[in-house]
Amino acid sequence: MTKYIAPSMLAADFANLQRDIEMVNNSNADWFHIDVMDGVFVPNISFGMPVISAIKKHATKTMDVHLMIVDPDRYIEDFKKVGADILTVHYEACTHLHRTLQAIKAAGMKAGVSLNPHTPIAVLEDVINDIDVVLIMSVNPGFGGQSFIENTYKKVQQLKALIEFAEAETLIEVDGGVTDQNIEKLLEAGVDAFVAGSFVFKSENPTATINNLKSLVSI
């Protein structure tokens, strides 16, 4: 199966955003990971529709949009309009998760669900066949540059077992603290898509860093 590298644009240089978008376009990355934060669900505020629309104008790869916001249902159509290909909502922010997933798919996007570090895998048992991507947070959501939470490996293994038991086709994505030191262990645990922010954009050569991560998960 294809494995995906998704540089997190939250760690890009916003004063040189087009440059960093072109860098990702020209690298071996697969997705643009775009974090949307509202200052309510998480204690930080990131970019909204105008910036995502601007990224879409230049991006040539999949737009993987991760909503860390309350009441995401209000904005599903808006995120489709600005170019999201995958739209991921937080389990913790959705009162009627099944309905939210159906609305995302009806809008023409792949549907993702993200789990905070404290949220158990079991909450997805009844909807796993409706989910295209499960995004496991390996740090607490809201800020970049945090340390990786070691319990993530066990959580990925539990999710992989659930997916296989349900005969689902759901991809497993991990976001937070991914580096060349833990990516192979994450791959072994069952991860399909790897979000890397600070590790990529704060490196001396981001293109080489992306290409190296891709080579480590290409079997």
Q: What are the catalytic residues?
A: 35, 175
Element (H, E) at 169: none
E strands in the chain: 4-7, 31-37, 62-68, 86-90, 110-115, 133-137, 171-175, 193-196
Please name the residue that has the structure tokens 């898509």: 193
Quote the CA–CA distance of 186 and 195 in Å, as a whole number. 12
Quote the CA–CA distance of 82 and 68 in Å, as a whole number. 17
Quote the CA–CA distance of 182 and 151 in Å, as a whole number. 13
CA distances (Å), origin 56, targets 25, 35, 67, 145, 207: 11, 14, 16, 25, 20
The contacts of residue 112 (CB under 8 Å, 6+ apart) are 64, 66, 86, 87, 88, 89, 131, 132, 133, 134, 135, 173
Quote the CA–CA distance of 145 and 196 in Å, as a whole number. 10
Could you give the 3-state DSSP secondary structure of residue 177? coil
